[in-house]
């Protein structure tokens, strides 16, 4: 695997766009959370004729954006410790952060593995935390529980328009 190239995100303008080339070109912004791939490239027929776009849910279509002749969609990341995904909160898109937790004995029937046995871990979406910004979810991912307090104080600081890093 090649190391990702970092570029400017055409949506949020931060220098946080990771570009990787594996099977196809993938672009993921670590700041705003939007992603694109070659299958989302636009041609002269426009967005409605894009096959990958057609397969998106209505919600994802509504959240998608276009820039650099591509369609960009909010990313869903399933990671070894947590999942980050967009949610609809009163008609507004927010970012949800759900930790990976163990499946306990009394709930394991709900987590039967179709290939046999049971799943031992699940993403705890019932207790997911919601954030306005994708990068705050990434912050949670790297800092865990401690991250939450830091995020809250950052949000407070930015509302007071003082910046502390």
Chain residues binding Zn ion by CB under 5 A are: 9, 11-12, 29, 31-32
Nearer to Zn ion, 9 or 136 (CB): 9
User: Could you tell me the end-to-end alpha-carbon distance of the chain, in angstroms, rounded to an integer?
Assistant: 33
Q: Which of 138, 163, 99 is nearest to 16 (CA)?
A: 138
Positive or negative CA dihedral for 77, 82, 88, 92?
negative
Shortest distance, CB of residue 25 to Zn ion, whole angstroms?
16
Minimum CB separation of residue 158 from Zn ion in Å reads: 18
The residues with which 36 forms a beta bridge, in sequence order, are 27
Q: Which of 34, 30, 11 is nearest to 142 (CA)?
A: 30
Q: Give 34 or 53: the residue with its C-beta nearer to Zn ion.
A: 34
Phi, psi of 135 (to 5 degrees): -65, -20
Specify the residue, 65 or 108, whose C-beta has the smaller distance to Zn ion. 65
- Closest to Zn ion by CB, 110 or 132: 132
CB of residue 80 vs Zn ion: minimum separation in angstroms? 24
Least Å distance, CB 30 to Zn ion, is 8
Give me 13's structure tokens. 């303008």
Let me know: does 5 contact 18? Beta carbons within 8 Å: yes
- For Zn ion, the closer CB: 29 or 83: 29
Least Cβ distance, residue 110 to Zn ion (angstroms): 36
Q: What is the DSSP letter of 164?
A: -
């Amino acid at each position: 695997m090649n190391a990702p190239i970092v570029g400017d995100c055409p949506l949020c303008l931060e220098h946080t766009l990771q570009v990787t080339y594996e099977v196809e070109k993938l672009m993921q912004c670590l700041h705003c959370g939007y992603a694109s791939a070659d299958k989302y490239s636009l041609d002269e027929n426009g967005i409605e004729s894009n096959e990958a776009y057609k397969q998106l849910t209505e919600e994802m279509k509504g959240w998608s954006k276009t820039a650099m002749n591509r369609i960009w969609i909010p990313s869903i990341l399933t990671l070894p410790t947590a999942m980050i995904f967009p949610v609809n909160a009163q008609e507004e898109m927010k970012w949800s952060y759900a930790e990976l937790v163990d499946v306990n004995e009394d709930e394991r029937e709900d987590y039967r593995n179709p290939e046999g046995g049971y799943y031992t871990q699940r993403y705890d979406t019932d207790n997911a935390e919601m954030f306005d910004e994708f990068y705050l979810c990434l912050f949670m991912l790297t800092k865990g529980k401690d991250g939450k307090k830091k995020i809250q104080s950052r949000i407070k600081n930015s509302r007071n328009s003082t910046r502390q890093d």
